[in-house]
């Protein structure tokens, strides 16, 4: 199950990606903007990431105008490793090496075709583990340090 959320700037791309998810038989939960009206991306990021943390979704896709604001917001949620990807190489390696559980995209930055390819790469690539797990553990340690709470 994929959670997919956007603010108003990412709404058009979100609609296209939801149609693609339906085409490939991937189930999803939609969050955030549903009509193109203005909505705040930090709230969308929080609500969507909570679906991943709770286990209701395996991974998530978040879209705002550039992908920057929504990725910053998503990475404030404990346990989330959100990656802003602008090409398939980034999507592949954020899964292989970072075990990213949230893909962030810029609806005003990349087109529908490239976004679809990035999404497919993100969904089809697994985590390599090994030496990369140590680094994921280090990220979790930073999240759990008292001075950051």
Residue 28 β-bridge partners? 2
Whether the CB-CB separation of 72 and 46 falls below 8 Å is answered with: no
Does residue 20 have an active-site annotation?
no
Query: Which candidate in 8, 33, 49, 64 is catalytic?
Result: 64
| CB under 8 A, 24+ apart: contacts of 17-23 | 17/61, 17/63, 17/112, 17/115, 17/116, 17/119, 20/116, 20/119, 21/119
Active-site annotation holds for 33 = no
Asked if 49 and 60 count as a contact pair (C-beta separation under 8 A), the reply is: yes
| Residues identified as active-site | 64, 97
């Amino acid at each position: 199950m994929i959670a997919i959320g956007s603010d108003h700037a990412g709404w058009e791309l979100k609609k296209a990606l939801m149609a693609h998810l339906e085409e490939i038989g991937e189930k999803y939960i939609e969050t955030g903007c549903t009509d193109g009206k203005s909505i705040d991306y930090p709230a969308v990021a929080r609500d969507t990431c909570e679906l991943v943390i709770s286990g209701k979704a395996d991974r998530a896709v978040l879209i705002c105008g550039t992908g920057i604001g929504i990725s910053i917001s998503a990475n404030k949620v404990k346990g989330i490793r959100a990656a802003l990807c602008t090409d398939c190489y980034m999507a592949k390696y954020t899964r292989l090496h970072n075990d990213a559980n949230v893909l962030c995209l810029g609806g005003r930055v990349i087109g529908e075709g490239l976004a679809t390819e990035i999404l497919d790469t993100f969904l089809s690539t697994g985590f390599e583990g090994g030496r990369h797990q140590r680094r994921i553990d280090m990220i979790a340690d930073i999240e759990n340090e008292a001075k950051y709470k």
